[in-house]
Amino acid sequence: MIDQWDHEGFGDGIVFAEVAEKIGMPRKDFNKRVARDPRFKQELAQRGYDEVTLPRQSKRGHRSAKGIARTAPASAFAPDPEASYTV
């Protein structure tokens, strides 16, 4: 899903809340079970992403949220962005 969003030009970054919502997982569970998992972090690093804090506008004003942004070129071993993967 993240590869697909990147290929479609999602912008500067993706917040974890968006990823959790898209896969139907509560944000709290996503943060505990996925975002902290070393395998998830390794896959992101291979694709050139780093965990970052992203600015977001909410009903309550300006906020920040954890997410990912591409900070380096994808590894030569990264999967084809045209293919369908789940990360």
Q: Is residue 65 part of a domain?
A: yes
Q: Is residue 82 part of a domain?
A: no
What pLDDT digit, counting tens, does each position of 43-55 carry? Answer: 999 988 999 998 8
Residue 25: per-residue pLDDT: 95
Q: Is residue 87 part of a domain?
A: no
Point out which residues pair with 70 in neighbouring strands. 49
Q: Is residue 34 part of a domain?
A: yes
Q: Which residues contact 8 (CB under 8 A, 6 or more apart)?
A: none
Q: How far apart are CA 63 and CA 40, in angstroms?
A: 25
pTM equals 0.69
Question: How many domains does the chain contain in total?
Answer: 1
Q: Is residue 18 part of a domain?
A: yes
Q: Is residue 56 part of a domain?
A: yes
Q: Is residue 22 part of a domain?
A: yes
Q: Is residue 12 part of a domain?
A: yes
Which domain, by its residues, includes 17? Answer: 2-70
Report which of 21, 15, 1 is spatially closest to residue 52, judged by C-alpha positions.
15
Q: Give, for 41, the enclosing helix (H) or strand (E).
A: helix 38-46
Q: How far apart are CA 52 and CA 64, in angstroms?
A: 10
